[in-house]
Structure 1
Amino acid sequence: MSFHGLPKGMVWQASARYNNKVMTEEEVDDFFARAALGGPPPREERVQAPKRRRKGMDIKVHGPEDSPHNSPTDQLLREAALAEDRAESSSEGVAAACAGSKCKAPVQQFVFGSDPAGQHERSVFSFRARNPGDVEENTFCKQCQTLIKKARAIKSKPSEGARGGFSLYIEGENEGDDDRFADVFSPGHGRYATFADLCKSAETGCHLCSLLAAPDPHANSNPPSDCKNSYMVGVYGEQSYDSPGRIEMQVMQYERKVVNLAYDYPTAKLQGSLTYRRTDTDQVFALARDWLRHCRTGHDECRNRPEVEDFVPTRLLEVSAEPNGTLTSIKLRVTSTNPDEFSNVEYLALSHCWGTVETTKLKTSTFASFETSIPLPSLPRNFVDAAIITAKLGFKYLWIDSLCIIQDSDLDTTREIPTMGGVYGRAVLTIAAIGAENSHGGCFTTRNPLSLVPALLRDGDSSTRDQVWAWNQQLQGPSAEGKLRPPLHKRGWVVQERALAPRTLSFGKDMVYWECLRGAASEASPKIREDNESGLKIALAQCSAVDHREGWELWETFWWEIVHEYTASKLTHYKDRWNAISALAMQVEDNTGQQLYHGLWECNLFEEVLWKCFHPGQRIDPADLDIPSWSWLCVNAPVHNQQRFNYNKDFKKVATVTKPPSARYAADGLGRSKSLIIQGQLLKISWSTSRNETGKPAYVFRFTDGPLLPRRSKCDWYPDVVPEADWDLSVITMVLTKSGGYEAYGLVVRPNDVSGISWTRVGMWHMFCYRDEGKDVLWHLERKETITLV
């Protein structure tokens, strides 16, 4: 609710209750009209309670001068909205909550009534003053007001105890018999007739238009903001206790856009820095400083990193800026030249996507000049923005890979890449430009905040699920997957940067996000949720914290989460397949006391070799990386190892896996020998392809000289690369159920020559049949052969 006469730029939000029930807008208007707020009422004026009034109850109006605080907000209300003359203070009738005169966004709560217990027959109004920003939530154009008023789905409410556990009834109408209903709205009379009109309405502040006009990241194509095509909006109701339905917008010649409806009160809100259209405002930097301060003072696990405590990067960038944040210079500093200055240095690090465009790099020829000064106009936007963030957060030093590692020196690259664990682990904060597709994309962005938070379409008591909210729920945040995955997180090098950094401040296309080992936050939910149980940081921490002596399953499960995330990302140069994860891998080696053998853990090669590809990939050219076929490092495809077998109860090993006795470990964590010796049952197969329910290829096989399988059995295999029709394939059985052999796992292999000694891994297989039929499966376990995988 707004009051006439308030200074421009000051926005007031109001909520009201009477007798512990939410007051409607009409009741609030009626109350303030009776109270004559906005005009000087007679002294000690008494007004009747609105509508729900009990006989004999009256209300005394008190202003903020009754508050024990005297803040600027009190003065504003006193001058702009309340009468000059007010009744004397009454401790039982007034309650005021304010942080004091220095509070930038105080809350004023006024209680009207005579019940000191505060439970019955009273009205409570809460007003919050906030910085206006650029937008205001829950404001709708006339077209959307009509839609909200008429759409039956928005008027529907859940009712427990009916058919299916709930039913829907329409406010002001009879209970409907249909489970589904729809209302379609077609813009007319020349108003908002095209999608371009809708976008203009969004830009001028309509909350629902902002949600509808926002691009759908799942769509193959979205209409441009100047699209002149017509559109229609449908509101569809369905029987559900969680949601009244959905809103769909159809722009001619484009895919439908869906906005979800929900009864539940959302956690994301339009508040603080999110009320601004830019992510480089003072409010954003103030929020980032608060996150960092809270983490550094309250999160022991985020600051106690003994493995990197004494680490200092070889080189750092010194950032100089004016008090307002304007950059004046950036220059390269070699830390070894002044050990005392850099012994306890605090610095930030940048995680960014290089892309295919040319960027400024440190080279042998530019080293001397960079020590004097790096020309600011020559720097790409990512670097400039990172330097601004560094200065705004109160720091002096910054680490950027392309400016702190000599890019045309193999010797320097070989020395610096293994130190990535120290660089990101020791940094006070890592700045992640997750929304930029290349180094020129920049950290900061312009957004429409209204498209990022829910719109309240029907107000009411949230405790009784009487509200209806509309929300896109499609943000390109740090944890988003699929098409929502931000550009930076599609890059393989970034996986170890995300995992190794104890704190990350991510600048996305929609908003700014915080992640640390303890929790996560965003502009929409600025309070750090200190219950973080997922993500790369937690996975790496668990790899280090779990006692590996209790068994490999616990910590290795987290390791394979990291591997899956890494293999689902892309690398520009496949020769970096090991380099881009080596620092992270070596940290896990140090913390667990275990060793890797071409990316597999030596302590359990048997299960490790049973990794599988989610879809066939591309074999990396040995000229780029000399890795054996049994290592996941040799395939460009997302991989995982989800196999966990209970050998004490259900499964048994029917093969052995060993590395050559002469194998030695190289200093970089890769084994010198590429051989793996497997002894087990080797059976020939024939295979074919089909299509699964999603239309993707599915690969099946049958034994040509193996066990007798029951009719209802299923034999699948998961190729590492797309198989060729003339391949002569066999399978080697490795794991089998103890009773009946109704489930089995193993590797798909092909011979490298006619000798049958040297083999190549081409996939992983799984067989399953129903338990009652599996008792007839015959496994000729005496037919064991020894093969060498290379």
Structure 2
Amino acid sequence: MSAPSIFSTTPQSLSVAVDGGTSSGLVKLAAEHVLCEQCHSAVKNSVTLKKQHPSRGSERFCRYAGIDILGSSILSSGSAGAGAATCHLCCLILGAIRQQQQTPIANGPADVTINVSRSGGITFSIQVEEGGRQRNIGELVIVPQDYLEGLPTSPASGFAFPDQSSHIYQNAQLALSLASEPSFCLARAWLQQCLQKHSKCTEAAGMAVGRPSRLIDVGSETGRDPRVVVMQHPEEGLEYLTLSHCWGGAKILRLLVENFDQLITGIPMSSLPKTFQDAVIITRRLGYRYIWIDSLCIIQDSPSDWRSCAAVMGEIYAGSVCTISALTARNAYDGGCFFDHMRNPLSFRPCRLTEDWWVEGNTNVGPDLRVGLSPMPLHTRAWVVQERILAPRTLYYGSNGLAWECVECSATEAVPMGEVSRFSPKASFFATQKRGSDPEEYYNQWTDIQIAYTRCLLTRFDDRLVAISGVIKRIEKLTGWTNMWGMWKERLLQDLLWFVEEPTKGRPQTDEYLSPTWSWAGIEGRVMLAVGGSKETCHWMADDINVGLSDDGKHGCIRLRAMMKAVSIGKSPSWQLNPGIDAPSPKWEEVDWDPDVTPGAGDMAKEVRCVLIARVLDYLGPGSEAMDIGLVVVRHGKDWIRIGVFRQLREGSALFGDHKVDTTELTIL
């Protein structure tokens, strides 16, 4: 497909015939390298861009009257029946503004300057005028023609597009809508090639043991409305898709006892939130009849139905052909899957300015499904962690375009051939299952998942354990381990030494008992482990461990024998632990600790103890002092409850010094 004239100032559109789809007619594609009259003039008059080796310095490139002018024609290009070409450079500038802004930007003049650095790097620097002052927004990188030609291509680790079918991904890269046939062609190509050629993905799908009791029958594009169907005896080979999405705070259509018969009869498309409507369309266009959507396939006001379905939810995703993920929609009504109102493919495509110079595209979502170090909105939700890990294939839709993740590779519109992602939890989890002989590998994989999971958000904290239960059950099946309140019985001493990154004001209140205080499951916030547990460097100091129920039979408890020392909690804001050691010039007068929740004034009067669990040798490197690590507990009747983890180097007036300390039996609730 040939590009339009580089310096064209007349709005254009490119049209291509639909290949292999169910629609007929023409599809509008964005036209690359087309410049508006203002940008064309600025490029033509630029002194810097006339040189092959510009000197260090700055040059004013162009002043745009307002940000809304940059975006006006772009916004219309996503509407039905539109498709007029927009200025490629304007799209890149607006894309840079949208990607970099941390706070809302009022419409105002935008100034673009060409900067040449000492090293010879060239950039467009973008500033906007706010309140009479210039605010730096972002920049675009300018590169020579031979730089783009010399870039190494990523190894085709996942997908192959012969020359005669390269239009499949080329058209998708320029499609003005993710709901258009070019995008569906690329999605179908990824899915079909994975089903036919990726043996690891097929093997991962074969590990699923659960099947959904209900599905949504989407019918055909010209047929009846979708409806809920009850699977009395789910077929072993039944093919269905699943939807992964953010509920957010939106009140969405749900399956209830009172509307059960109605939704079995039919669900008007107009009654579905945008994300669900889009998922129905995607299911049909991918060539499938059934999709599982949590809010429509679980009776939401039936506790018994919810519990039984939630118990196998991870396996439902694991057994699906593919999961459709609304990657950047913050709730079911916001944006959906297609994001037509924000779709601007030209902001991610390099633009040719002259025979010698190009502007690189803005950063698109990478194959690791992050922009920079920030996760996408979908991946901030706790339920999605197991959906992403256990589903063998996931097709992502979002404002950054179309993306793919399976066990063998990840791909995007920008990297359609796919590549092995270093940050794919799906691939990492499967790789651990395949090796499967070293318990340490399973445990390390679990701790990585635990860290990622506990940084995510839950609408109902009561779901803290059930939302990750699919992964826990898979690890139990593979290892034979026993999980109790999110803790592994076989690694319990190590598991006890978790700490929360930032303590909150208190433990969340739940409708039912969730976990004992020594489990991370009852605490909000990102949870990590204090020790890695290497046998060569860590000595476990507690023993006679027994996990069970408290005397009332309603709460979990752990009974163990360990050394204990009395401490007191100091004043705010440091809340340090004071061991009360009376020694001349002690090097360590206080004990460092990580509280589970922020201590209150009343905690200062409680009976507090440090319980030694582990002694880590060479904690700060070979030849360094050892570190004592254990639990901080407070008296609760005749027993104890956990309030944090302590650490102390074994030097000076260490809490557990070389003098003998008797061990004590204690019960922690």
Sort the TM-score into its range (normalised by shorter chain). Answer: 0.7 to 0.9
Partner of 1:393: 286
Partner of 2:111: 232
Letter in 1 for 2:500: C
Deviation at 1:307, TM superposition (A): 5.7
Partner of 1:590: 477
Letter in 1 for 2:231: T
Letter in 2 for 1:571: L
Deviation at 1:362, TM superposition (A): 1.6
Paired residue secondary structure (1:321): coil
Partner of 2:162: none
Partner of 1:788: 667
Question: Using the alignment, how far apart are the partners of 1:425 and 1:474 within structure 2?
Answer: 28
Give 1:658-697 correspondences, 5 Å limit.
658-660=545-547, 673-677=556-560, 679-684=562-567, 686-687=569-570
Letter in 2 for 1:536: P
Task: Provide the alpha-carbon RMSD of the alignment.
Answer: 4.2
Deviation at 1:590, TM superposition (A): 0.9
Q: Do the aligned partners of residues 313 and 775 (structure 1) sit closer, same or farther apart at CA in structure 2, a change above 3 Å counting?
A: closer
- Answer whether contact 1:707 1:778 (CA < 8 A) is retained: no
Give 1:346-425 correspondences, 5 Å limit.
346-425=239-318
Question: Using the alignment, how far apart are the partners of 2:655 and 2:283 within structure 1?
Answer: 68
Question: Using the alignment, how far apart are the partners of 2:371 and 2:646 within structure 1?
Answer: 27
Partner of 1:206: 87
Question: Using the alignment, how far apart are the partners of 2:493 and 2:228 within structure 1?
Answer: 48
Deviation at 1:765, TM superposition (A): 3.6
Question: Using the alignment, how far apart are the partners of 1:468 and 1:716 within structure 2?
Answer: 55
TM-score by length of 2: 0.80
Question: Using the alignment, how far apart are the partners of 2:589 and 2:29 within structure 1?
Answer: 63
Structure 2: which 5+ residue stretches go unaligned? 76-84, 155-165
Question: Using the alignment, how far apart are the partners of 1:493 and 1:443 within structure 2?
Answer: 18
Letter in 2 for 1:501: A
Partner of 2:211: 312
Structure 1: which 5+ residue stretches go unaligned? 13-71, 74-101, 105-129, 157-169, 461-466, 691-697
Q: Do the aligned partners of residues 434 and 776 (structure 1) sit closer, same or farther apart at CA in structure 2, a change above 3 Å counting?
A: closer
Question: Using the alignment, how far apart are the partners of 1:236 and 1:622 within structure 2?
Answer: 57
Number of aligned residue pairs: give it: 616
Q: Do the aligned partners of residues 411 and 372 (structure 1) sit closer, same or farther apart at CA in structure 2, a change above 3 Å counting?
A: same
1:751 to 634, 638, 641: 634
Partner of 2:231: 335
1:722 and 2:628 aligned: no
Paired residue secondary structure (1:677): strand
Q: Do the aligned partners of residues 720 and 145 (structure 1) sit closer, same or farther apart at CA in structure 2, a change above 3 Å counting?
A: farther
Question: Using the alignment, how far apart are the partners of 1:235 and 1:712 within structure 2?
Answer: 57
Paired residue secondary structure (1:505): strand
Question: Using the alignment, how far apart are the partners of 2:331 and 2:225 within structure 1?
Answer: 23
Deviation at 1:481, TM superposition (A): 6.8
- Answer whether contact 2:541 2:615 (CA < 8 A) is retained: yes
Question: Using the alignment, how far apart are the partners of 1:708 and 1:643 within structure 2?
Answer: 32
Give 1:632-647 correspondences, 5 Å limit.
632-641=520-529, 643-647=531-535
Superposed CA offset, 1:257-291 (max 9, x none): 11252756477999321212211000111111100
1:519 to 402, 409, 423: 409
Partner of 2:136: 256
Deviation at 1:199, TM superposition (A): 2.8
Superposed CA offset, 1:68-99 (max 9, x none): xxxx99xxxxxxxxxxxxxxxxxxxxxxxxxx
Partner of 1:35: none
> Which protein has the larger Cα radius of gyration, Structure 1 or Structure 2?
1
Give 1:6-85 correspondences, 5 Å limit.
none
Letter in 2 for 1:537: K
Q: Do the aligned partners of residues 488 and 734 (structure 1) sit closer, same or farther apart at CA in structure 2, a change above 3 Å counting?
A: same
Paired residue secondary structure (2:400): coil
After superposing the two structures, state which structure 1 stretch, 328-337 or 672-681, moved more. Answer: 672-681
- Answer whether contact 1:543 1:555 (CA < 8 A) is retained: yes
- Answer whether contact 1:221 1:255 (CA < 8 A) is retained: no
Deviation at 1:688, TM superposition (A): 6.6
Letter in 1 for 2:378: L
2:643 to 753, 762, 771: 762
1:272 and 2:175 aligned: no
- Answer whether contact 2:4 2:32 (CA < 8 A) is retained: no
Paired residue secondary structure (1:473): coil
Deviation at 1:708, TM superposition (A): 8.8
Paired residue secondary structure (1:430): strand
- Answer whether contact 2:253 2:296 (CA < 8 A) is retained: yes
Partner of 1:33: none
Deviation at 1:760, TM superposition (A): 2.6
Question: Using the alignment, how far apart are the partners of 2:569 and 2:372 within structure 1?
Answer: 34
Letter in 2 for 1:633: A
Deviation at 1:308, TM superposition (A): 4.7
Residue identity over aligned pairs, in percent, reads 26
Partner of 1:655: 542
Partner of 2:460: 573
Letter in 1 for 2:532: R
Q: Do the aligned partners of residues 346 and 183 (structure 1) sit closer, same or farther apart at CA in structure 2, a change above 3 Å counting?
A: same
Q: Do the aligned partners of residues 308 and 737 (structure 1) sit closer, same or farther apart at CA in structure 2, a change above 3 Å counting?
A: closer
Give 1:88-237 correspondences, 5 Å limit.
133-137=29-33, 139=35, 142-143=38-39, 146=42, 150=46, 171=53, 173=55, 181-185=57-61, 187=63, 192-200=64-72, 205-214=86-95, 215-216=97-98, 219-223=101-105, 227=107, 229-237=108-116
Question: Using the alignment, how far apart are the partners of 1:202 and 1:367 within structure 2?
Answer: 43
Q: Do the aligned partners of residues 144 and 716 (structure 1) sit closer, same or farther apart at CA in structure 2, a change above 3 Å counting?
A: farther
Question: Using the alignment, how far apart are the partners of 2:571 and 2:70 within structure 1?
Answer: 51
- Answer whether contact 2:368 2:423 (CA < 8 A) is retained: no
Partner of 1:610: 497
Letter in 2 for 1:261: V
Letter in 2 for 1:320: G
Letter in 1 for 2:603: W
Deviation at 1:333, TM superposition (A): 1.9
Paired residue secondary structure (1:727): helix
After superposing the two structures, state which structure 1 stretch, 326-335 or 740-749, moved more. Answer: 740-749
Question: Using the alignment, how far apart are the partners of 1:561 and 1:776 within structure 2?
Answer: 31
Superposed CA offset, 1:37-74 (max 9, x none): xxxxxxxxxxxxxxxxxxxxxxxxxxxxxxxxxxx99x
TM-score by length of 1: 0.69
Q: Do the aligned partners of residues 471 and 758 (structure 1) sit closer, same or farther apart at CA in structure 2, a change above 3 Å counting?
A: farther
Partner of 1:486: 376
Question: Using the alignment, how far apart are the partners of 2:113 and 2:585 within structure 1?
Answer: 53
Question: Using the alignment, how far apart are the partners of 1:360 and 1:543 within structure 2?
Answer: 38
Q: Do the aligned partners of residues 238 and 306 (structure 1) sit closer, same or farther apart at CA in structure 2, a change above 3 Å counting?
A: closer
1:472 to 362, 368, 372: 362
Paired residue secondary structure (1:751): strand
Q: Do the aligned partners of residues 459 and 717 (structure 1) sit closer, same or farther apart at CA in structure 2, a change above 3 Å counting?
A: farther
Letter in 1 for 2:394: T
Partner of 2:80: none
Question: Using the alignment, how far apart are the partners of 1:499 and 1:459 within structure 2?
Answer: 46
